[in-house]
Structure 1
Amino acid sequence: MSTTKYYRYENSHYTVTARADLQDIILNIKGDHCHPPEPEQIQIQTFKQVVKAGAISESIPIPQIYDKEAARIDLSTLSIAVLPSQRQLD
């Protein structure tokens, strides 16, 4: 079993990779990243990916997929506050 997690972030301005232990303590960062990870943004990104995958693979309407996933995942209060609406998912 691996004792290391790898993360990758990229956008049009930069690419960053990070290596962390199983307790999410950052061991190494490569790239030009200048702020710590934001757990709420990670939760939102995961939520969006799950909804998009469900929209592709399921035959139920997207609003139902959104509601089902929003009820299923354990979002922090701050994540709920910044969760995009069904129409804002890109």
Structure 2
Amino acid sequence: MFSQKGKPLLVMDNFVFKLNKTTNTNKYYQCENPQCTMTLRTDINDVLIGTKDDHNHPPEPEQIEVRKLKHVIKEREKNETTPIPKIYDEETARFYLTSLAMAIVPSQGEISTRIFVLLFLKE
């Protein structure tokens, strides 16, 4: 999974971690929540080596589901000529989303606007 800026993210136990530093043998991640002090270390293949501290917030699996859906929609829009509304309908039907995740999925119009901004204003 990747952030909106294209940076690598690691999902572990329904928490999202952003890559903080990479060495020849290890990767260091920190919780994406800025108020959380949880960090972890993996090898180069993202196999967990150790953790430091605990999360001070609950996991948000629904947010992760929605981010994955948005990523798939964005990737399809970059690589296909299919209209965004059709991609949105196909992917929301294909993804198994919990009812809570469906409640927080951006509307088709919001997705279209965001993808337009990401794809065309970066050029």
Higher relative contact order (CA 8 A, sep 6+): 1
* Aligned residues of 1:14 and 1:32 also touching (Cα < 8 A): no
Q: 1:59 aligns with which of 76, 81, 98?
A: 81
Give the aligned residue type for 1:80.
M
Task: Give the CA deviation at 1:33.
Answer: 5.2
Structure 1-normalised TM-score? 0.66
Q: Note the aligned Cα RMSD (angstroms).
A: 2.9
**d(CA) in 1 for partners of 2:75 and 2:57?**
29
Structure 2-normalised TM-score? 0.50
Give 1 or 2 for the bigger CA radius of gyration: 2
Q: 2:103 aligns with which of 68, 76, 81?
A: 81
Secondary structure, aligned partner of 1:67: helix
Q: 1:35 aligns with which of 57, 61, 64?
A: 57
Secondary structure, aligned partner of 2:96: coil
Corresponding residue number in structure 2 for 1:68: 90
Alignment of 1:46 with 2:68, yes or no, is yes
**d(CA) in 2 for partners of 1:63 and 1:47?**
14
Give the aligned residue type for 2:95.
I
Task: Give the CA deviation at 1:34.
Answer: 2.9
Structure 1 segments unaligned to the other structure (5+ residues): 1-5, 20-26
**C-alpha spacing 1:47/1:17, structure 2 compared with 1 (3 Å):** farther
Structure 2 segments unaligned to the other structure (5+ residues): 1-9, 12-16, 19-31, 42-48, 115-123
Secondary structure, aligned partner of 1:36: coil
**d(CA) in 2 for partners of 1:64 and 1:31?**
44
Task: Give the CA deviation at 1:81.
Answer: 1.0
**d(CA) in 1 for partners of 2:89 and 2:55?**
34
Corresponding residue number in structure 2 for 1:23: none
